[in-house]
Chains A and B, each alone.
Chain A
Amino acid sequence: MHEPVTISCTVNGRHYTRAVEPRRLLSDFIRHDLGLTGTHVGCEHGVCGACTVLLEGDAVRSCLMLAVQADGLSLMTIEGVASPDGTLHPLQAAFREQHGLQCGFCTPGFIMSILQFLGENPAPTDAEIREALSGNLCRCTGYVQIIAAVRQAAAAKAGAPGVG
């Protein structure tokens, strides 16, 4: 039973079927088996938030799930956020305009987290934004521009329901 198990799931609207070892982390499945390397891996214990993806619309740590647990479920990763023609999602545009990223390692995790947050709370206060960002670590920006980006995105109504 350590042998590969066949699973099917939908990622960014596309259907995938793959054989995975039970111990395959969802983060590694996304990166290595599906080649979607926009989802980053920092700590592998749930603290940094770099690996955050949407599972059935909820932001979750892909390093704390097994790929087999995603069987039959639907995921969205950073690759699914912009329009197919490459037009940035308003939240991504806000990050660029407000300089909400420097090296960009943390950015996919922030974007996926904020998509759920703004979907549920379209007009957050600054205190709510800070609380919502507390589950993602950034070593570069100092967070101030990320908060500004979330404010701009909120003004542009960039929550999850609007996502392609």
Chain B
Amino acid sequence: MKPPPFSYHAPITVAEAIDLLGRYDGDAKVVAGGQSLLPLLNFRLSRPAALVDINRIPGLDYIRADGGMLEIGAVTRHRAVERSAVVAAHCPLLAEAVRHIGHFQIRNRGTIGGSIAHADPAAELPIVLTALEGEVVITGPGGVRTATASEFFITLFTTSLGSDELVTAVRFPTLGPGTGSAFQELARRSGDFALVAVAAALALDEAGAVRWVRLALGGVDLVPVRAAGAEEFLAGKRPDAATLAEAAALVAGEINPESDLHATAEYRRQLAAVLTGEALETAARRAAEGGECGHA
């Protein structure tokens, strides 16, 4: 189908975009890569009075690492993240996860800010943000604020973003030496949204025991979730096969997936355990092999 009529604005500053969003008072939609919004418009599931296109605003497309933090501008395309040597060096988990988004033609257009703002519970980037305890940089009429994943993702396709606010950047902390991370997902066809996806990040101490671990899952709830029970269980233990298997089983018990057209709750629970086991094993191996060189 074709989109319903709307007014179109292509501001060239963030301030102008925010002003436009304020004037439409919730009736305007931001368009970035359009890879989620355009299908909604074409199906007429969304009928905004206006579109505010942020693609012509300079300065929102950058990848920068400093002070133990990787910062990526909101309009940076998934393909740029995928190809970036800076991302590979400072946030290998993000580099690994972004390749799972759709197809390369989708990644040529789709943006990091759009993926975070869209808040699909199975989308890869919100899961990475949750696992790494990163933050969303938000600009509104009152200036700039930041939100953690749990402050930002409210429920299905719903965030704490005000109708006159823009996501302007996303930040991921660099993990540094002695750490390892891994991303695992299962989708029925290449390029589909995941049925279940798991991001794991952990640090080992000198004795090879888990100093800390973070596990985030998508596709199992209305927002990406942390597996706090399994994280607690693993802390201080050596990541041998039996321990990781026990942690994976704990994850299956602490999530609340629903059945839908694509998979039953039971299958999702089982997948979550299998993928968690694989992600943990890979992350532990990478940490033992020397870890991520965040200071590169």
Contact = CB atoms under 8 A, between A and B. Distances in A.
A2 B55 CA distance: 20
Interface residues of B, number: 33
Nearest to B189: A134
B126 to A, nearest CB: 19
Contacts of A63: 38, 42
Contact of A131 (B3, B5, B50, B190): B190
Given A22-B51, A46-B35, A113-B105, A2 B3 contact: no
Contacts of B35: 46, 61, 64
Contacts of A116: 104
Contact of B105 (A21, A22, A49): A49
B42 A68 contact: no
A46 B39 contact: yes
Interface residues of A, number: 31
B177 interface: no
B1 interface: yes
B233 interface: no
Interface in A42-63: 44-46, 49, 52, 55, 58-61, 63
B109 A65 contact: yes
Interface string B177-215: 000000000000111000000000000000000000000
Contacts of A66: 3, 8, 31, 34, 38, 51, 53
A6 interface: no
A99 interface: no
A13 to B, nearest CB: 21
A25 B190 CA distance: 26
A52 B55 CA distance: 20
A132 interface: yes
B38 A64 contact: yes
A61 B106 CA distance: 7
Interface string B92-127: 000000000011111011000000000000000000
Given A23-B41, A60-B108, A66-B3, 7 more contacts: A25-B3, A45-B39, A60-B105, A64-B109, A68-B53, A116-B104, A131-B190
Interface of A: 1-2, 5, 21-23, 25, 28, 44-46, 49, 52, 55, 58-61, 63-66, 68-69, 113, 116-117, 131-132, 134-135
